[in-house]
Amino acid sequence: MAAPAASSPPELSQIGKPDAVEAARILDQFRRSGIAGEYYLEFELRALPRRGEERVFNGRLWGGRNEQGAINRIEVVDGDGRKHRLLVQNGAHAAVWRLAEARVSPLGIAALFAPVIPGVEVTAFDLQMPFLYWPDAVLQSINRILGRPAHAFLFRPPAGFAAEHPEVAAARAFLDTQFNALLRTELIGRDGKILKTFSLVSLKTVDKQPVPKSVDFLNGITRDKTRLQVRGIALNLDLAPSLFEPAALAEEIGPPAVAKMLRLDP
């Protein structure tokens, strides 16, 4: 995910709403953006329920791009020490595979909303954000998000998704007008209420490119939240293409060399 650099944002009054052609260009450019090259992250999922104790789970992510779009191999360890692995392919032909009981299987649309592990507010749908590629997309307005002007795009679900999840009316994404970076997303219910929110919390500049350091996933119904905090990162890697094959989820993959890792403070 591309991220905004630190600079003074322009006033909303100075920004005109793009026409349909320019809006399509902005969205296409965003879909092609992201962390440059191949990379590796170590992160924590901090489950912050509205009621109850905070819990922390560890995870790892290998990322890159292929001809379809961004692709990520994700591993999260649950409270019992079991590893849960996902392969998340984004793009016009998005797909998710999961390793379960020593078998790798694709996830159907209905299963995308299940938590990646018990006790967190992060799902395969949240990690994939397939709505960013839904064809029915309209630039609604320009809003201020996190103190920065942002293009507000509204995405209507395709028929197949709507049939499986009739409770979802649309999704909204806010892209920084200056850097075309994702600042926030909202999943909108049939009654207009926000079902789920993704928010960028903080950034870290690594090798001259800003990357997300922490993001929040908020359940709009229960108000339970999970914060993803990156604890280590390695950029400019040369990962084997086979690592991003579904069958490789059954294989144990080690982290990059220690010398390539940058540890991030809380």
- Residue range 188-226, pLDDT digits in tens: 999 999 999 999 999 899 998 889 999 999 999 999 999
Q: What is the mean pLDDT of residues 160-187?
A: 94
Q: What is the pLDDT of residues 106-142, one digit of tens each?
A: 999 989 999 999 999 999 999 999 999 999 999 999 9
> CB-based burial of residue 42 (10 Å sphere; 0-12 exposed, 13-18 middle, 19+ buried)?
middle
CA distances from 175 to 71, 121, 172, 194, 219 (A): 20, 23, 10, 18, 21
So what's the pLDDT on residue 1?
Answer: 43
State percent of the chain over pLDDT 90.
Answer: 85
CA distances from 251 to 43, 63, 73, 100, 176 (A): 20, 16, 12, 13, 38
Query: Beta-carbon neighbour count of residue 41 at 10 Å?
Result: 22
The span from the CA of 28 to the CA of 135, in Å, is: 11
So what's the pLDDT on residue 135?
Answer: 94
143 has pLDDT over 50: yes
So what's the pLDDT on residue 6?
Answer: 45
Question: E strands, 28-69, where?
Answer: 38-48, 55-65
Contacts of 101 (CB under 8 A, 6+ apart): none
Strand partners, 214: 202, 229
What is the architecture of the domain spanning 15-263?
Answer: Clam (2.50)
Tokens of 14: 């100075």
Contacts of 93 (CB under 8 A, 6+ apart): 68
CB 87 within 8 A of CB 139: no
Q: What is the pLDDT of residues 176-186, one digit of tens each?
A: 998 888 999 99
Tokens of 183: 């600042």
At residue 145 the predicted structure's pLDDT band, cuts being 50, 70 and 90, is very high
78 has pLDDT over 70: yes
Chain mean pLDDT for the chain? 92
Give the CB-side neighbour count of residue 257, counting CA atoms within 13 A: 5
